[in-house]
Amino acid sequence: MTWQFEHVTLGQRVRFGTGTAATDLAAEVSRLGARRVMLISGEPVAAEVTAGIDVAVHCTDVAPHVPVENAERARALAADADLLVSVGGGSTTGLAKAVALTTGLPIVAVPTTYAGSEATNVWGLTEASRKTTGSDNRVLPVTVIYDTALTATLPRSLAVASGCNALAHCVDSMWAPRTDPINQALALEGIRALSTGLRQDAREQLLYGAYLAAVAFASAGSGLHHKICHVLGGAYNLPHAETHTAVLPHVLAFNAVAVPEAATRIRDALGGSLLDLYAEIGASPVLRGVPDVREAAALILPSVPPSNPRAVTEDDLIALLTTAQNGAPQA
């Protein structure tokens, strides 16, 4: 085998521990020399996390898929800030990114789920039921603070959906537009950690796997799975993690026939089939909330990556979404 590729790893500080978020955050605020911190969070735990710093302004205007109007209000609040601190899941990190995109303010992200947005330079905004995404290094948090204690109160159903969302980052990274052996290795180790964490409710493994998944995804880019889910989420205001969980087995089944070696590596890392893992942990492969699969397929088709390992037609998307609604992946 002869390899030829160009790999980019994004520069970012990571602090990982249990019960250390407040101490780690205070240290990062001091290191960055911030004087006017804007806290972005709608979670009660944010008060505990920020106990050791002074917060100049607090924005709680967090919503799924980051509506443009929410972003504009948050940007106005950030007029005098010199640092953004986000405490929460993917929607919270996403709002901080929307502010950083236009202000250039640095972000310290403190995740409370396994969304992975904190480790990517990808942003997303929704307007008039259409979600626009892009990449910009201004939105990459300068520091991520992982604290397993912050995930301890996640309801099991949300932890499962969030963990499966992280799995989707890994699977998509195996054949995304910029995939290479380095991010495939990260993705496969991420799958191993996440599948173990999901089976055993091992929060350290889940956070570790979620970070690896996001790093791989940031390098490899958005594949077919993420293009489908971004369009569906924006068009029908679907819950992010649950939608990724439902769609993943169907995209994996669709692409597996074209890349059997990658599919085998994914299965080996999972320790079995994805559907067997879903049955074991109580994850649902059933897509809900899409009223018209033909309309949805037409919206998705222009976003399909030309590099997808299998050619995708509108009829393919209709079939994929239909089987997703029924919960039975295509052969």
Q: Provide the pLDDT for residue 1.
A: 62
Mean pLDDT per block of 10 residues along the chain (331 residues) reads 84 97 98 98 96 97 95 97 97 97 98 95 92 94 97 93 96 95 97 97 96 95 95 93 96 96 97 96 96 97 96 98 86 45
Cβ atoms of residues 168 and 225 within 8 Å: yes
pTM, full prediction: 0.93
- Give the integer Cα–Cα distance in Å for 204 and 307: 34
The single-letter DSSP state of residue 152 is T
Q: Provide the pLDDT for residue 137.
A: 96
Q: Provide the pLDDT for residue 129.
A: 87
Q: Which helix (H) or strand (E) holds 123?
A: strand 122-127
Inter-axis angle of helices 156-173 and 274-281, nearest 10: 170
Class of domain 13-151: alpha beta
Cβ atoms of residues 166 and 210 within 8 Å: yes
Q: Enumerate the CATH 3.40.50.1970 domain ranges in the chain, comma separated.
A: 13-151
Q: Look at residue 216 and give its three-state secondary structure.
A: helix
Q: Provide the pLDDT for residue 330.
A: 54
Which alpha helices (DSSP H) does the chain contain, by range?
21-32, 46-49, 68-77, 90-103, 156-173, 181-200, 203-220, 224-236, 240-256, 260-270, 274-281, 293-300, 314-326
- Give the integer Cα–Cα distance in Å for 202 and 65: 28
Cβ atoms of residues 210 and 250 within 8 Å: no
Q: Provide the pLDDT for residue 102.
A: 97
Cβ atoms of residues 123 and 139 within 8 Å: yes
Q: Look at residue 318 and give its three-state secondary structure.
A: helix
Starting at the edge strand found earlier in the chain, the sheet holding 83-88 runs 13-17, 143-147, 107-111, 83-88, 37-40, 55-59
Cβ atoms of residues 141 and 151 within 8 Å: no
CATH number for domain 156-326, candidates 1.20.1090.10, 1.10.357.10, 3.40.50.300, 3.40.640.10: 1.20.1090.10
- Give the integer Cα–Cα distance in Å for 120 and 134: 11
Q: Which helix (H) or strand (E) holds 111?
A: strand 107-111
101-112, pLDDT tens digit by residue?
999 999 999 999
Q: Enumerate the CATH 1.20.1090.10 domain ranges in the chain, comma separated.
A: 156-326
